[in-house]
Structure 1
Amino acid sequence: MMKRGTLLIIMMISTLGTYSFKNNTEDAKKTSFASYYHDKFNGRKTASGDIFSNSKMTAANRTLPFGTMVKVTNLRSGKSVVVEINDRGPFHSARALDLSKAAFQAIGNTARGTMPVEYEIIDNG
């Protein structure tokens, strides 16, 4: 009985200790899926007012502020790319990011259409 109680207390302390180091949950790494823009969007205005180009390292997200720099890692390949948020979307609940084609190709295969990713904010613009 005493060993079980001690173990429970140790587990609680270690769990609470982990949370106390993550003061800002916005900086935490998140996992989701990413897709990429179709070429038809080239030359159109993004929600931030930028002109979209599939050759730039940019991305869309529903909530992150424009200008935020985000490191995106393909969970299949382990490759990473840094993109700037300059648009709103994707408008699909299972995906957190729409990457430019250049950013998507840098870390994944466009033949797949989507990829599982981990992403984290590296600069809030």
Structure 2
Amino acid sequence: MVKRLRRIGLPRVLALGLAVLTSAAPAQTAFSAPAPTPRLQSLEQAVASVGDPALDEAVATKLPIVRQAFEQVGEGNASYYGNELAGNRTSSGERFDPHAYTCAHRSLPLGTKLRVTNLANGRSVIVRVNDRGPFTRGRILDMSLAAARDIAMIGPGHARVRLEVVREIA
């Protein structure tokens, strides 16, 4: 179950939960029979219905749309660090989790969200800066294992990437 939730992503799970919990019964009139009480779905049922057009429409109408702008801040080589550092403290004070979408950058403020695009295959992922580094010459970013897996850089161990700062606009 946890692996399945990780695959579809936390924002999607939260959106599904919101759609399920906020579904309201139709209004009653004085001359109609009472409407049946809506049945709440379990989390498993909500996750299983991912891709259902009716559910996608319900989610889309109940959640605000957040637009994002991207500002390119650099290109260079990135690497990843995996399970060997799990549990160690990062520069932000939190513990390193190889399954989280985080990264280490030398100068960007902690908490900055970056879109990292693998230039070899065009795949991208959004990560949060929570640590300082890399301290290897020629590298501009160290990513977590989960983020590196999403952009297919696990095999070679490093990749040429483009970094863009994510800015939310209203």
TM-score scaled by structure 2?
0.55
Q: Deviations over 1:73-109 (max 9, x none)?
A: 0000100000000000000121111000000000013
Matched, 1:73 2:117: yes
Query: Percent identity at matched positions?
Result: 41
Please list every run of 5 or more consecutive structure 2 residues that lacks an aligned counterpart in the other structure: 1-70
- Measure the CA separation in 2 of the matches of 1:101 and 1:52: 11
Answer yes or no: is 1:93 the counterpart of 2:101. Answer: no
The whole-number CA distance in structure 2 between the counterparts of 1:29 and 1:66 is: 15
Match of residue 165 from structure 2: 121
Mapped contact 1:59–1:83 kept (Cα < 8 A): yes
Which amino acid in the other structure matches residue 41 of structure 1? Answer: L
User: Which residue is equivalent to 2:72?
Assistant: 28
Gaps of 5+ in 1: 1-26
| AA matched with 1:98 | D
Equivalent positions of 1:36-47 (< 5 A) are: 36-47=80-91
Residue 105 of structure 1 is matched in structure 2 by 149
Contact in 1 for aligned 2:133/2:142 (Cα 8 Å): yes
**TM-score normalized by the length of structure 1:** 0.74
Of structures 1 and 2, the one with the larger relative CO (CA 8 A, separation 6+) is 1
Q: How many positions carry a matched residue from both structures?
A: 98
Distance 1:123 1:49, change over 3 A: farther
Q: Which amino acid is the alignment partner of residue 78 of structure 2?
A: A
Q: Distance in 1 between matches of 2:89 and 2:115?
A: 23
**Following superposition, which runs of at least 4 residues in structure 1 exceed 3 angstroms of deviation?**
none
